Amino acid sequence: MRNLVLLFLRFGHFILFVLLELFCLYLIVNYNRTQREIWGNSSNIFMGYASEKFNDWTNYFSLRDKMDDLAAENALLKEKLINAGLTPIPERDSSSALNGQYKLITAEVTNNSTDRPNNYIYFNKGRKDGVQKDMGVIGDNGIVGIIVKVNENYSRANSLLHRRSFISAMIKRTGAFGPLKWIGTNPRYVNLADIPKHTTVQVGDTIVTSSYSTHFPKGILVGVVEETNLPSGSNFHNIKVLLSNDFSRLDYVEIIENLKQSEQLELEREVTDE
């Protein structure tokens, strides 16, 4: 109470002035038709402007939810295309349809690196969302990496830009296949290795995932051949691939669940043990 009295003693004249101004404004607007119309128009303009700005702010803060919904819808569409043997898996005949073999889990990138010899990508989905170790990860423009670590709410993948990332890929035009290798320099490029010298390789050839993988369906885009040469005395081409994904701009991805992965791995282990 004492502070309130002190406030009025200190700013009483100013407060009285403001109150009198407001009272005069009320009298002018209330008893003068012209001023009343001006006040009404001005009020409508101000309220319209304020309402527009408020809507802009609320729409801005709801963008995250909208982006999550769009990403989930995009993943569902990709899942249907993959299982139907259509794009983003190009040139698959009807006899090789996947019959619901793959499910996609939408995830947001929470951390990512591109400037190290071994790069990792972190996602906001984990065990409770169905993510498991050894699942493949794709983005809007192609493959991203393979899940190597999972806890309840988050997961981590070896990026394609990782020296231990050996994903099987092939030249779409010829079917020749080999592992993708990150050489730890430019994050826009990887090498396609072990393509024999008798295979024709051309600049501009499209590189996609091969069927020799339990992580990815066949035909997922990797990139295009930018440079190729055959070193003297070598039996294999030196192939530089420009990646279709820009790893510095990853935002939302899809984590691939291969529902038949355990069966495939079980057969491979049986062959190894023989």
Query: What b-and-e string marks burial along 245-261, b requiring 16 or more CB atoms within 10 Å of the CB?
Result: bebeebebbbbbbbeeb
CATH class of 74-273: mainly beta
pLDDT digits over 203-249, tens only? 999 999 998 888 998 889 999 999 999 999 999 999 999 999 999 98
Q: Using CB atoms within 10 A of its CB, is residue 170 exposed (0-12), middle (13-18) or buried (19+)? A: buried
Are 243 and 207 in contact by the 8 Å Cβ rule? The answer is: no
pLDDT digits over 147-168, tens only? 999 999 999 999 999 998 889 9
Per-residue model confidence (pLDDT) at position 94: 34
How many angstroms separate the CA atoms of 199 and 43, rounded? 76
Higher pLDDT, 98 or 17: 17
pTM: 0.67
pLDDT digits over 57-80, tens only? 555 555 666 566 666 666 666 666
pLDDT digits over 86-120, tens only? 545 333 333 333 457 888 899 999 999 999 999 99
Domain assignments of the chain as residue spans, ordered by start:
2-61, 74-273
How many angstroms separate the CA atoms of 78 and 116, rounded? 31
Per-residue model confidence (pLDDT) at position 89: 39
